[in-house]
A = this chain, B = another copy of it.
């Protein structure tokens, strides 16, 4: 914090220089990230801890929006200087919403909090938890200095680098397919769609070539792929059909899905509705087809019934799920988590195997502690007088803490329509139970442990939760508010992270959206589309993007989507 000439408010730095009387400024490539940081803080006493955040996606931006920058020396490193509202990304592919309407500069987000912080547009390529440093590299830029590498030390590191598209090593995907993960991807798709139409309208083509040029293939029947297919279908029918009357008849949209159905994370009723709607509209649904190869001209897919078939295509969008970023793979090796897909953290989002590193969003997952692993410790904690048996009263005393620490217990009771812990006991009349009886009672409880999905909703809630923990670090250090430590003494400082599912949407095109809200509330139709509009407008990070998104929708209603090949 005090090493780089540019990283410290001038007056503060000078004050330090005068009072401490030390010249600890060492300028150089790597000495910038200086190890004197914490020494100085101990000497000085007032120095803020250095909090470094990697990434500006949902988790990172949500953390930054909530962190109190007056308590920490906040540094952000990300290759993008903006946050992007991912749920509207498929809308950008066809110009229903403009790219800039769904992005908000990170500097704006933090400045609104009145906070001082530093942002560096660079990519972190290595985390070094042993020496508490990260190594970064800034992207290329014509004529501009600063392509070099630099290192940043940290007291706390918050990793929110997200994931990358998963190609499952399918040959030709990286070279020939579009992804739909970044704003630039959506912009490229939009331009390519128009190119496909313009190419199909050229005079010197055969019918087959025309057909090929406007054969749009979506690989992956998840929400992103399905929404893109629906958007494209609307774009073609509502806007392009009028402008390209001769091309219209050649257009074909295919969705290839390896499983039996599309939108499998939704209720079956939604899946069926979507499939029926797509079939009615002439979108070619190819379920149980696995793409095995993509060349510049054809997509080869296989199916037990048909074997391998190759179809010519004009534009392909690969949207089959997420994979691990190289930096996370490397980091996992260092902290003893090799061969995992994402970083494992505890319920407080702390990365297993190292100190002061937190991970959230798509690059991490919470490994919920199993009850059966801790059952002996639970017994010990509950059995305060070491009698070797638990009474119902003894259990009740710690039950609140157990519910908080192991949410699967409560979930298990709920799922099995039990009213309380008492129902878990087979012999409900028994006054006491020993360790073996407790184990029996809890044996099935861990079946309820589920991984959280890699969604924006989870990442945003994690970011807000972690920022709140950081903001109340000192308070909670003194009066911890978490559950009893089962394997240690005292209480946890914070309550563990608990995800609250607010429901999910699947826009299906034609002003119809499927919604699945908590409490098994399912609805598909035009009214849900308006719910979707209002939820997504309200969830915008700023009034600016809110206004832009709403006016984009309005413009589309009045004038249609733009078909300039930009």
A residues with CB within 8 A of B: 4, 6-7, 29, 32, 80-82, 95, 98-100, 103-105, 107-108, 111, 118-122, 138-139, 141-146, 148-150, 152, 176, 183-184, 192, 194-196, 198-205, 209, 212-213, 242-244, 246, 296-297, 313-316, 543-544, 547-548, 551, 555, 558-559, 562-566
Contact = CB atoms under 8 A, between A and B. Distances in A.
A296 B143 contact: yes
Nearest to A138: B202
Among A146, A203, A551, max chain B CB count under 10 A is at A203
Contacts of A98: 98, 100
Contacts of A209: 145-146
Given A119-B201, A201-B120, A144 B82 contact: no
Contacts of A139: 195
Among A184, A201, A296, max chain B CB count under 10 A is at A201
Given A82-B564, A564-B81, A195 B111 contact: no
A143 B205 CA distance: 15
A204 B26 CA distance: 12
Contacts of A314: 143-144
A562 B144 contact: no
Contact of A199 (B103, B144, B243): B144
A145 B205 contact: yes
Q: Which 7 A-B residue pairings sit nearest by Cβ, starting from the closest? A: A121-B198, A82-B564, A150-B204, A146-B199, A544-B559, A107-B243, A145-B209
21 contacts: A4-B203, A32-B203, A81-B198, A82-B564, A82-B566, A95-B100, A98-B98, A98-B100, A105-B243, A120-B201, A120-B202, A120-B203, A121-B195, A122-B202, A143-B296, A144-B199, A146-B199, A146-B213, A152-B203, A184-B566, A543-B559
Contacts of A149: 204
Given A121-B202, A150-B203, 17 more contacts: A95-B100, A98-B100, A99-B566, A100-B562, A105-B243, A105-B562, A105-B563, A105-B564, A121-B195, A139-B195, A142-B176, A143-B313, A149-B204, A150-B204, A544-B558, A547-B555, A548-B555
A152 B103 CA distance: 44
A143 B176 contact: yes
Among A120, A146, A201, max chain B CB count under 10 A is at A146
Contacts of A202: 120-122, 138, 146, 150
A49 B324 CA distance: 61
A77 B225 CA distance: 34
Contact of A213 (B144, B199, B201): B144
Contacts of A313: 143
A336 B333 CA distance: 73
A467 to B, nearest CB: 21
Determine chain A's interface SS by DSSP, over half rule.
mixed
A204 to B, nearest CB: 4
A200 B146 contact: yes
Contacts of A141: 192, 195-196, 199
Nearest to A246: B6
Contacts of A100: 95, 98, 562, 564, 566
Contacts of A564: 80-82, 100, 103-105
A534 B379 CA distance: 79
Among A120, A199, A315, max chain B CB count under 10 A is at A199
A119 to B, nearest CB: 7
B143 A111 contact: no
Nearest to A103: B564
A237 to B, nearest CB: 16
Contact of A145 (B99, B144, B212): B212
A204 B565 contact: no
A548 B118 CA distance: 34
A209 to B, nearest CB: 4
A317 to B, nearest CB: 12
Contact of A544 (B80, B548, B555): B555
A551 B145 CA distance: 36
Contacts of A204: 29, 32, 146, 148-150
Nearest to A315: B143
B143 A103 contact: no
Contacts of A176: 142-143
A183 to B, nearest CB: 6
A243 to B, nearest CB: 4
A184 B187 CA distance: 13
B192 A142 contact: yes
Nearest to A84: B564
